[in-house]
Structure 1
Amino acid sequence: MDNFSRTFEDIAYLASGNERQKDAFAVLTKGQVMERLKDFDPLLVGTVPLGIDVEGSDLDIICSCGDNKTFQEVLVSNFSACRLFRIWNTVIGSAETVLANFFLEGWEIEIFGQKKPSREQNGYRHMIVEHRLLVRYGQSLKDQVIALKEKGIKTEPAFAMVLNLKGDPYQALLKLDL
């Protein structure tokens, strides 16, 4: 594991981040969200850890669940009392996936579970590639991605547009994960 991925193993880094990161840390900690999911190797991924979130960005947590039924039971027992709680099953990239969505203290939270190890899931892999790109290209890349996101463009397509990556932006970013 490299230094880039170690950065995101524990959400404690959020406590010294920007204001939204500090707020996300407080909400996740107070709600014991990561603690309640500890048996499923939860990782916060997406725009908030990278500091490229915009108003309305949610908190995305990926989990590794060997048994979807048990994972669903844990989600229901721990989060069903949260505002607008929903849970459903779907298939993403040929993998059975459990999704839960709810609101906690003003933040929308989406929990995503697959049988694949958390660090091998695309959400984590995308975030690591995006982090490396932000470190390499700095504030200019960050500003351009945020500007596109503020116009409603999703994160991976925004990176692909700024970097002039061809084809499917999700796959193009994964190809940079060498």
Structure 2
Amino acid sequence: MTRPAYTEALVHSGVLTHLAAFDPHVAGTPPLGLDLPDSDIDILCHAPDPQAFASAVWEACRDLPGFAMWQWQGSDRPVIARFHCAGWVLELFGQACPVAEQLGWRHFAIERRLLALGGETFRAAVMARRQAGAKTEPAFAQVLGLAGDPYAALLTLEQLDDDTLRARIGA
């Protein structure tokens, strides 16, 4: 059985509407076209008041299948929630800093840019690594030959211009 498009799960859940006050942004592998059967949908939110965010999430999502919510202990204590909808797992991540500054969004933005610049050959190479078991950032790092921590290494590419990135990709 195939699951519906991730966009259907977003519409069916209503989460983007319910959490509009927290500037929700969809990230992760489905919008990149790199999802696997067990991929989830990541929704990053700006939650300067974790309690207000948790209350809004509870109100909007508590009755959805598999709902769970927790708060990290370290750093700025982001709130995370997961639930199932329309064949997908959705994961909400509410952090005090604006979405554009969150590491998850920054990774998503550079990955989206690399895929746009690299074309289908690059996408296929990343997807092959994903299908072999690599998580998203390590798959990109492997294809690009980036050494060290793949999460940190990808962020070193953010400020490079498109021509430099194309050369790095080999496109």
2:12/2:85 contact within 8 Å kept: no
Matches within 5 A, 1:80-91: 80-91=62-73
Q: Read off the aligned partner of 1:112 and give its amino acid letter.
A: F
Give the whole-Å Cα distance in 2 for the aligned partners of 1:62 and 1:88. 15
Gaps of 5+ in 2: 160-171
Partner of 2:13: 31
Point out 4+ residue stretches in structure 1 off by more than 4 angstroms.
none
Deviations 1:64-117 (A, max 9, x none): 00111111111111101111111001156x331110011011100000010000
Give the whole-Å Cα distance in 2 for the aligned partners of 1:147 and 1:42. 30
The structural deviation recorded for 1:140 is: 1.4
1:45/1:62 contact within 8 Å kept: yes
In the alignment, does 2:22 pair up with 1:49?
A: no
Partner of 1:10: none
The structural deviation recorded for 1:58 is: 0.5
Picking from 50, 55, 58, the partner of 1:76 is: 58
Partner of 1:16: none
Give the whole-Å Cα distance in 2 for the aligned partners of 1:70 and 1:135. 37
Give the whole-Å Cα distance in 2 for the aligned partners of 1:145 and 1:55. 16
DSSP 3-state at the match of 1:95: coil
2:26/2:43 contact within 8 Å kept: yes
1:54/1:146 contact within 8 Å kept: no
Give the whole-Å Cα distance in 1 for the aligned partners of 2:86 and 2:149. 35
RMSD: 1.6
Q: Read off the aligned partner of 2:88 and give its amino acid letter.
A: W
* Larger of the two Rg values belongs to structure: 2
In the alignment, does 2:112 pair up with 1:131?
A: yes
2:12/2:86 contact within 8 Å kept: no
Superposition TM-score, scaled by structure 1 size: 0.84
More strand by share: 1
1:99/1:113 contact within 8 Å kept: yes
Q: Read off the aligned partner of 1:166 and give its amino acid letter.
A: A
State the number of aligned residues.
158
The structural deviation recorded for 1:146 is: 1.1
Give the whole-Å Cα distance in 1 for the aligned partners of 2:15 and 2:148. 36
Picking from 143, 149, 152, the partner of 1:168 is: 149
In the alignment, does 2:46 pair up with 1:64?
A: yes
Q: Read off the aligned partner of 1:163 and give its amino acid letter.
A: L
Give the whole-Å Cα distance in 1 for the aligned partners of 2:127 and 2:54. 34
In the alignment, does 2:117 pair up with 1:112?
A: no
